[in-house]
Amino acid sequence: MLSQIVRPMVHTQIRLLANSQATRSTLISTVAQWLSFLGVQAEVTHLDACDQHNIRISLTVGKPEACDSHDWHKIVNNLNNIKRDATLSQLAQPQISPKQQTKLQRLLAYLIQVGDPEVAVNWDTIYPQLQALGLDEQMLLGIRSALKVPQSLENLLEGLEPDLAAIALPKAVSIAMLDRQVNPHEDQALTSLLQVMKQA
């Protein structure tokens, strides 16, 4: 199911990139999101177009979730012998309006609420997990506020713009996959976001 969502999402994000006024910062953010689906936390440290057919990207990559700590330390120690300077680039988030940000916060709160509908959300537990997904403090505060009331997917999808759905879907997939499974409620939300994206 995840591949059915990710592949068209990548296709849609590529089309959005082509029409973006902030192609560089958007691509930096998008690459990091794609890698996060594999359990890899990555930061783009260099990006440029090397010719008409290729883009050169450098990454700083943290230990993948599935990687043994001992193996990872050996890899890092081996690589420490070859150090190269890199020009750091700030990871920029797509610009959205305050109204869009509120809707995005409510959408993500909904994904958290339906992750386990029978259990009340424990903010102390979910907060560090959301931080690890790269959500900033302003977004996290909005999500925390939205979690105080039940969210309705039908209301959230009403008037949802394709561009905002494209921003929301990678984050929604990451939240849905926190427990390594996607339940029917999460599946419905992700599929609905994908359908809105396709209207772009």
**Helix (H), strand (E), coil (C) string for the chain:** CHHHHHHHHHHHHHHHHHCCCCHHHHHHHHHHHHHHCCCCCEEEEEEEECCCCCEEEEEEECCCCCCCHHHHHHHHHHHCCCCCCCCCCCCCCCCCCHHHHHHHHHHHHHHHHHHCCCCCCCHHHHHHHHHHCCCCHHHHHHHHHHCCCCCCHHHHHCCCCHHHHHHHHHHHHHHHHHHCCCCHHHHHHHHHHHHHHCCC
The answer to whether the predicted template modeling score (pTM) of the entire model surpasses 0.95 is no
**pLDDT tens column, 40-70:** 778 888 888 877 788 888 888 887 776 778 7
What is the tens place of the pLDDT at every residue in 74-93? 777 777 765 443 333 333 44
Examine the pLDDT at 140 and tell me if it is beyond 70: yes
